[in-house]
A = this chain, B = another copy of it.
Amino acid sequence: MSEGLPTAFLLSIGSELLAGETVDTNAAFLGRKLRQLGIRLAEVRQLPDDRDVIAKAFVQAAIQADVVLATGGLGPTHDDLTREGLAYAVGEELVLDRELEADLRERFAAHGRMPESNLRQAMRVASAQVLANPIGSAPGWWVERGDGVIALMPGVPSEMRLMWEQEVAPRLATRVGRAPLAVRTVKTFGVGESAAAELLGEVLSAPPAGVEAGIYARDDGVHLRFSTAREASALDPLAARAAQLLGAQVWGADDDDLASVALVALGRSGAATVASWEADTGGALLAILAAGTATDGAARYVGGLLDAGGAASAPVADAVIQLSLLPQDAHGRSRVRLAVSGRPSLATDELRIHGSGPQRLRRAAFAALDRIRRIDAG
């Protein structure tokens, strides 16, 4: 289990997280970024805006991990209590930092007067170094305690990400970073999680010493992940063997996304531009295609129409993906019909899909893209 790596705890602070009003996307971002620095994220805790709960969590996390990160609760309002929580945990007073105050007043000068509540954002404990926030009013903190370190960042994702890249990551790399974990991912569609595990056998259940192997069911299929803190080259034969065992179900590796893989297949088949027209799928195909990354050789996605939006007004593109959800069958199973203009081999009257609710619609779109990327297979 990633032996010997430094560990991190993340405290995601904000009652809006626990009330379900905000999805904590910061946690996944920081999990990935920490791993790239060779630091293992050992636990995430979502906590309410409650000073005593926050203070206790800082104390516990600092005992258990080398690095404690916190996001959120640095705003100007009365329920932003991360500063107070950490001050209480480390037994220091909050004092006004005149330089921070001057920065804040200057930031607000362009918009008129600064609300007095923003002065809370110029308070810090004496042992905290300030982390700059070029795009928001909440500065971060960097607090070193013995061998450990605690960093506070804003909860707004764009501000957190910029502060991570410019301020936190460079300090961590210097202080506790080791060689980053090497990771290889193999991505499939069309095989279930347990069937894939059985096909993989010991490649998954008994990888070589120092290598971790995991299997995950996602909307875009089952993913295998191999990671190691040792030589990256140790992963190559494992990834290759996994791809061989899973055969035609493999559609990509590492950062590949299925939309781009399908657009590359259409590009190879001669289409320079692709549009979509979908019925009863809630725009799932359009949203996934629009989020695909630009890739060499891929057909360009130019947009999509929804439902009865219009046969008459379908965008002019070399290939138009037409996808419609069919009524459920007697067993409650869902199916979609797929056709791609000018590519008769991609006309089908039945792709079975799994799942329910909004996820079912995403899975319908991925099933279509998986069918399209296999176009060469006829």
Contact = CB atoms under 8 A, between A and B. Distances in A.
A283 B290 CA distance: 6
A23 B20 contact: no
A295 interface: no
A132 to B, nearest CB: 14
A30 B117 CA distance: 33
Nearest to A286: B290
Contacts of A306: 290, 301-303
Given A1-B50, A313-B316, A79 B214 contact: yes
Interface centre among A76, A290, A310 (most CB of B within 10 A): A290
Contact of A303 (B16, B76, B304): B304
A260 to B, nearest CB: 14
A126 interface: no
A158 interface: yes
A359 interface: yes
Given A14-B216, A303-B305, A304-B304, 12 more contacts: A15-B214, A24-B27, A43-B53, A44-B46, A75-B193, A77-B193, A79-B214, A79-B215, A156-B359, A275-B309, A286-B303, A303-B309
Interface of A: 1, 14-25, 27-33, 35, 40-50, 53, 75-79, 115-118, 135, 137, 156-159, 161-162, 193-195, 197-198, 204-205, 214-218, 223, 225, 227, 273, 275, 277, 282-283, 286-287, 290-291, 301-310, 312-317, 354-357, 359-360
A16 B355 contact: no
A217 B157 CA distance: 11
Nearest to A157: B359
Q: A interface, by DSSP: helix, strand, loop or mixed? A: mixed
Contacts of A161: 356-357
A115 B40 CA distance: 32
A223 B198 CA distance: 49
A138 B313 CA distance: 45
Contacts of A77: 193-194, 197, 204-205, 215
A78 B20 contact: no
Nearest to A287: B287
Given A15-B214, A45-B44, A194-B76, A158 B24 contact: no
Given A18-B43, A214-B79, A315-B309, A117 B290 contact: no
Q: Which A-B residue pairs are the 10 nearest by beta carbons?
A: A283-B290, A20-B31, A302-B309, A20-B32, A303-B305, A44-B46, A76-B194, A313-B316, A158-B359, A115-B198
